Each structure stands twice: as C-alpha cells, then as structure tokens.
Amino acid sequence: MTPGALNAIVPMACVAAAGIAAMVAEAFREPGERMPIAGLGAVGLIGAAISVVLLWNHHTSSFGGIVSADNFGLFVTMILVIVGLLTLAISGPTVEREQLPSGEYYALTLFALAGMMLMATATDLLVIFLALEVMSLAVYVLTGLRRDSPVASEAAFKYFLLGAFSSAFFLYGIAFTYGVTGSTHLDRIGSVIAAGAAQETMMQRLAVGLLLVGFAFKVSAVPFHMWTPDAYEGAPSSVTGFMSTGVKAAAFAAFVRVFLSAFEPLRGDWGPILWVVAAATMILGTVVGVVQSNVKRMLAYSSIAHGGYLIVALLSGNDLGKGAVLFYLLTYAVTNLGAFGVIGLLESSEQNDQVDDYTGLWHTHPVLAGLMTVFLLSLGGFPPMAGFIAKWYVFTAAMKAGNSGLAIIGVLTSVVSVFFYLRIVVKMYMTEGGRPASFPAVPKVAGVALVVSAILIFYLGLLPARVLDWAAQSISTIF
C-alpha cells in the first residue's frame, strides 16, 4: 500500500475513532460520574475539519477509488462537521433533561456522522449502500432513545420499518444497475450507459426508478415522506435537528453523484419524474405545514418542502444549480439546527412544543426569542438571511435551465410557508402571557452555538460570494 493511500478516509476515521472513544469512556464511567463525552466528539470533528482543509484540491482516493476525497465530498464533509459540532453543542440540555445515556447518545451520533461522510465521498453504489445503512441504523436508535416514551418508540418503529423497505428498493436498484453495466462503480456505470444511451432498455429504467425510490425516502420527498412528521415529533429535539440536516446533506450528496454523473445519460427518463416529485414535495410540505399546531411537526413539513427546493436545484443540472445544492445544504443545516436548538432549550418534561407554548416568549426570554426569529425568517427566505440567498440561487438556476414552472411553484410555496413561520413570531412578540420567567439558565456551550449559527446566517446572507465559489468549484470536480 502506497503512502497516502488511506488519506481519503481520514475525516471519517477521526469521527469513528471519537465514537469508539465515547463508548469506552461510557464503559469506564462510574455511576453518577459526569464525564465530558461530548468533548471527545468535538475533538474528533475538529480533527476531521483539519483533514478536510489539508486534503482540499488534492483529490485523493482510497481502496481502488471507491472512496474519493474530491472537493465535492470534502465540501459536504465540512457541512457534516458543522452539523456535528452544532449538534454536540445543543445536545447537553436534552441529554440531561431526558436522562438519556450520554455515552450511547454521543457514540451513535458520531457513528451516524461517519456513515454520512462515507456516503458523501463514496463512488461505488455498494459502498453508498453500506454507508447509508451505517447512518440509518444509528439514527433509528437515536430516534427511539427515550425508551420510556411511547411516542418515541412508535416513531422509531415507523422510521425503521419504512427505512427497511426503502433500503430494499435501493439494493434492488443496485442489482439491476449491475445487471445492465456489469459494475457498481459510478464512473464505469456512466461510461457504459453513455456508450449505449441510444439503446435504452427496460432494465435501465427499472434501475433508475428503484434507486430514485431509495433516495426519495432519505430526502423526505413525496410520496415517500410519511415517516418524517412522526420521527421528528418522537425524537429528542437535538436528534430531530441532527437527522433533518445531516441525513439530508449526506443523501443529497450521494443523489447528486449518482444522478448527475453516472445516470446523466438517462436524464430523459428520470428528469420528468423528478419534476413531478419536486412540485408535489414543495406543495405538500407547505400546504400541510400550514395547519400544524405542533412546532416539530411543522418543521418536519418545512423540511419536506426544503427537500423539494433542493430537488429543483438538482434537476436544473447547470453549473449554478449544482453549486446551489451545496450552498442550500449549508444554509439549511445552520438554520434548522439553530431552530431545533432553541426548541430543545425551551422544552421541559411536559415537552412544550406546541405553537401556543411560544406565547409571550419575547417578554420572558428575549434573547431566545430573537434567535428563534432569525432562524424562522431564514427558513422563510427573508432577506438579508442566508435562506433568501439560497432560494434565490435555486430559483435562478431553475429559470436558466428552462424549469420556469418549478421556479414559479417554488416561489409561491415559499410565500405560503411564510405564514407558519410568522405565526410563531407573532406568538412570541404580540401575545401576552405564556411561559413563566423561572426558566433554567441557558448552558454557555449551547448559547454560543446558537449565536454562532445566527452569525453564520447573516454572513451567508450578506457575503455569500466566497462560499458560493467554493461550492461551484467543488462540485465541478465530479463532472
């Protein structure tokens, strides 16, 4: 093995090692002893971030090219590092309040992140599947980690059951792809399909359709979104924020690699299907989200709608759309984790996750109300927040690609979605009463994480050019 042959897996190895360290620390922890297990995860994630910076522009690969540390994979890995650090920072209050096993919680989070990073850098369908399962199994357990909660158990069971079906579809898609091309490596698949693009077969179409089902489930696209509201409501808030951002980032990274690279010659087959899926996802996520009274379920349908916007960017296929996918993933990750961080801080043993529970928050906890306002306005696409710039680039890419119908649907659904974001803002600022002032102090680490998230939202909204350039340059490395 040549020196540097394993460089491509260094980021995920750092995170996996931190997960193992968290397990060992939990095993040796005395009953009642407080141990900074989250700090072990932070060390691993910082090591992953340093390795991403050192690997940038070097395009190394490992294990015969099935794991590729190109700039695209490294950009997504850095998004996942940010997701991981913010998740660790906001998890403390939830872990203590819910009395979750900290070693198990943090180890599963880190192993899920390692699977996500592998999924973002894998260039072989079987490795993507293995990474998807590593990620999914950890998230299933995290969803039901509150073992004494019937709601959490039901959510985890639904998520696991539907996830098993989607994995079966994905695996059948890999099998059909291998039957057509004789390979599971994306480069080989792309070249074989391109060589015989004029003689498309039913097996090719079946392979594309089955893989689409697998990816659609992971990104919560209609009609494979059914698990999302229940899983988001049943999981602890920090887990909900983690799965809504990390899983989506990893899934879209693999989605882009497979369909804009290997299956690009078959765009005529999957393009119209994705058009319908994107439109239905944006409409359903927005319309059903309007009638929700539970904040976590509302943000679940918001997540579905945002998945539709990302599919619009992916479907555009032009340089602007490709870069917009990565920029949107980054802005959505920072914004949504911030929102769920505030929800986690405001929850108590009685949950307090209804819209009415935010009544008068400005009068009792103005800082948290201000931060929540920033996150909600960014999700709604208000300038000068990052969400506005992200949506603007997505819709511009759609217009340039000739998908003006999708762009119009996206703009209209964005306008409608403003209602359910502003409904919480109105409750916080313009309604008296509600939450008592005797609220536990916000932990410093969680408070700093929320402030940093808000700062990043304004930075990405006001000065997005540099990050957009990095996104465009990184995604160009796989085409």
User: Which sequence spans correspond to the domains of the chain?
Assistant: 7-478
Two tokens at 56?
């940038």
Evaluate if residue 387 carries a pLDDT over 60. Answer: yes
State the pLDDT at residue 334.
Answer: 94
Cα angle 304, 353, 437 (rounded to 5 degrees) comes to 140
Q: Which of 357, 376, 370, 374 is nearest to 302 (CA)?
A: 376
Two tokens at 270?
């999957």
Residue 2: pLDDT band (50, 70, 90) is: low
State the pLDDT at residue 294.
Answer: 87
Residue 440: pLDDT band (50, 70, 90) is: low
Mean pLDDT of 473-478: 74
State the pLDDT at residue 450.
Answer: 93
β 67-69/60-62 pair status: antiparallel
State the pLDDT at residue 135.
Answer: 94
Q: CA-CA distance, 73 to 318, in Å (whole number)?
A: 19
Q: Average model confidence (pLDDT) for the chain?
A: 88
Helix-helix angle 295-316:227-234, to 10 degrees? 130
Q: What digits encode the pLDDT tens for the residues 3-61?
A: 567 888 899 999 999 999 999 888 887 766 677 788 889 999 999 999 999 998 888 88
Q: CA-CA distance, 332 to 205, in Å (whole number)?
A: 32
Q: Which of 117, 142, 109, 115 is nearest to 130 (CA)?
A: 115
Mean pLDDT of 370-376: 93
State the pLDDT at residue 36.
Answer: 78
Evaluate if residue 437 carries a pLDDT over 50. Answer: no
Percent of the chain with pLDDT over 70: 94
State the pLDDT at residue 33.
Answer: 65
State the pLDDT at residue 415.
Answer: 92
Q: What digits encode the pLDDT tens for the residues 395-421?
A: 999 999 888 999 999 999 999 998 889
Residue 62 φ/ψ, nearest 5 degrees = -135, 155
Q: Spell 38-77 as b/e; 16+ CB within 10 A means b.
A: bebbbebbebbbebbeebbeebbbbeeebbbbbbbbbbbb
Q: Helix (H, G, I), strand (E, B), or coil: what is residue 60?
A: strand
Mean pLDDT of 245-270: 90
8-22, 177-191, 288-302, 351-365: least confidently modelled range: 351-365
Mean pLDDT of 441-450: 85
Residue 204: pLDDT band (50, 70, 90) is: confident
Q: Which of 456, 282, 281 is nearest to 374 (CA)?
A: 456
Mean pLDDT of 287-299: 89
Rg over alpha carbons for the chain, rounded to the nearest Å, is: 21
State which amino acid sits at residue 334: V
Q: What digits encode the pLDDT tens for the residues 299-340?
A: 999 999 999 999 999 998 777 778 888 999 999 999 999 999
Evaluate if residue 433 carries a pLDDT over 80. Answer: no
Q: CA-CA distance, 298 to 254, in Å (whole number)?
A: 27
CB 159 within 8 A of CB 241: no
Sign of CA dihedral 181, 322, 407, 252: positive
Evaluate if residue 198 carries a pLDDT over 50. Answer: no
Q: Helix (H, G, I), strand (E, B), or coil: what is residue 438?
A: coil
Q: What pTM does this model have? A: 0.94
Token look-up 């897996």 returns 9
Q: Spell 188-211 as b/e; 16+ CB within 10 A means b.
A: ebbebbeeeeeebeeebebbbbbb
DSSP string for 127-162: HHHHHHHHHHHHHHHHHT--TT-HHHHHHHHHHHHH
Q: Which of 46, 47, 57, 64 is nearest to 10 (CA)?
A: 47
Q: How many residues does the chain have?
A: 479
Residue 434: pLDDT band (50, 70, 90) is: low
Two tokens at 38?
């989250």
CB 180 within 8 A of CB 271: no
Q: Which of 369, 368, 366 is nearest to 447 (CA)?
A: 368
Evaluate if residue 475 carries a pLDDT over 60. Answer: yes
Sign of CA dihedral 173, 176, 180, 182: positive
Percent of the chain with pLDDT over 90: 48
Break the chain down into helix, strand, coil percent, rounded to 5.
80, 0, 20
